[in-house]
Chain A
Amino acid sequence: MTDQTTTQPQIREVTVADALRLAEAGYRIIDVREELEWNEGHIPSATLVPLGDVLGRIEAVIPDKTTPLLVHCAAGARSARAVARMQSLGYTNAVSMKGSALDWRRLGGDWEAPQPLLTPAQQRRYSRQLLIPEIGQKGQRKLLDGRVLLIGAGGLGSPSALYLAASGVGTIGLVDDDAVDESNLQRQVLHTADRIGMPKTESARITLNALNPETKIVEHRERLTGENVERLIADYDVIVDGTDNFDTRYVLNDAALKLRKPVVHGSIYRWDGQITTFVPFVGPCYRCMYPVQPPEELAPSCAVAGVLGVLPGIVGLMQANEVFKLLLGVGETLAGRLLMFDAMATRFDEVKVWRDPQCPACGEASPFVAAPAQMAEALEEAVR
């Protein structure tokens, strides 16, 4: 500061109490702290011009050099240097507040602090995942604001719902019109023996809210149909498909394309599972992958064919893993890849799934057509 004061001995400094009066009288307030400090809280009417930018930017911000300016920082040192620099540019009415921003608040000055991303309780609860660089506070906030719809609160839905709720996904919707049956308990770990006969969505809500009272559980006690699908999925960010029949999968696929909702797909048969992610108009859709539905004897449901309990557990958690990446916007999803798990051999295989230009749902003649630019981008992505 000495170099400045020798050349600019006339810096006017005011106390915090005087600064409050000047602000009241209409002085423009210039905050010369760094952006990070500003983000933690600032005077609402102030303009941010960090000290290092004063010489370069102040004339653009305040063209009239006679404007009365109240310059402040955290304690008064940077603001004095800022005033010296302003005076060197010809500003005649700049004063520096000598005192701390904290005093300004103590004396009743206006102050605006952003809501902290997480409450102390949330910081404790999610501390292990806050340590992960790809999550952190911002990522956790995204999870807390995230809305995920699970189609089916059964074998695949159980493990995903448990882990999504545990890690703080804010809203979980469950679409299921079934009641808990004794034969479900071998794999549907959301439900318990004393809840046989209870609607699955209700049983799921009890389990999930016991695990995380903060997660909002929305019960949709209905079967997904062509009539209700758009209403059901409209308010959610990601759809997790754990349905048990092709008709529902096609219905969901088309509505998800129309409303641009990513769908995380899982299906299981005895010892085998398939997982992929459909991102509308970016990757392929369900109809690109399976344009024609197989006859029933080639695609029996679990009720007919049987299923190993641990298999939906593994596949459901792979689906949850996809959901996390979609909500956080990190990593690489299974869009364009079908992952196959063979539990008997403990083996994963992967095949590529192409976006079909002839696909009746998402191809060139799509009734849910995307903007041309989006299509071009998507095609580029698909052939990469």
Chain B
Amino acid sequence: MSSVRIPPVLRDAVGGSRSVAASGATVAEVLRDLFQQFPALRERVTEDGELSRFVNVYVNDRDVRYREGLETPVAEADTIILLPAMAGGSS
């Protein structure tokens, strides 16, 4: 099982957890398992079955856009980070 870090705006979709476990040998497989466990999360970050473009996915500290995308391999000890942009600031 790999560990998936859940950003604050998505935590209510996973029961408030900051990090959840999911299994799979690639990012796509891990996400599939994740969405099976947390259907509410699927609704929030996918469009027509695809991961939305505004969510960055990192395996450890590497953006999968610069690796093999959703086919990027994932090892048991890896940490996956889901990261949509944050808006908050001053006002």
By a beta-carbon cutoff of 8 Å, the part of chain A in contact with chain B is: 151-157, 176, 178, 188, 241-246, 249, 266-272, 274, 289-295, 298-303, 305, 307, 312, 338, 340, 342, 344-345, 349-354, 356
Contact = CB atoms under 8 A, between A and B. Distances in A.
Contacts of A295: 54
A294 B66 contact: no
Given A271-B8, A272-B8, A298 B54 contact: yes
Contacts, number: 116
Contact of B85 (A151, A154, A290): A290
Contacts of B44: 298
A349 B7 CA distance: 12
A272 B88 CA distance: 10
A272 B91 contact: no
B89 A152 contact: yes
B87 A267 contact: yes
Contacts of A298: 9-10, 44, 54, 84
Nearest to A286: B85
A323 B81 CA distance: 28
Given A242-B89, A300-B9, A301-B91, A352 B62 contact: yes
A294 B47 CA distance: 12
Contacts of A246: 85, 87
A302 B61 contact: no
B54 A292 contact: yes
A374 B84 CA distance: 31
A338 B87 CA distance: 15
Contacts of B85: 246, 267, 289-290, 293-294, 299
**Residue among B54, B58, B88 facing the most chain A CB atoms (10 A cut-off):** B88
Given A292-B53, A351-B63, A299 B89 contact: no
B22 to A, nearest CB: 18
A299 B56 contact: no
Interface in B53-91: 53-56, 58, 61-63, 65-66, 81, 83-91
Given A289-B56, A298-B44, A298-B54, A352 B87 contact: no
A176 B18 contact: no
Contacts of A345: 18
Contacts of A269: 8-9, 86-88
Given A344-B18, A350-B61, A352-B61, A244 B9 contact: no
B54 A270 contact: no
Contacts of B65: 354, 356
B78 to A, nearest CB: 13
A289 to B, nearest CB: 7
Interface string B26-63: 00000000000000000010000000111110100111
A294 B8 contact: no
Nearest to B19: A345
B90 A272 contact: no
Contact of B7 (A245, A272, A352): A272
Contacts of A301: 87-89, 91
B9 A156 contact: no
Given A350-B61, A354-B66, A152 B90 contact: yes
B18 A342 contact: yes
B84 A299 contact: yes
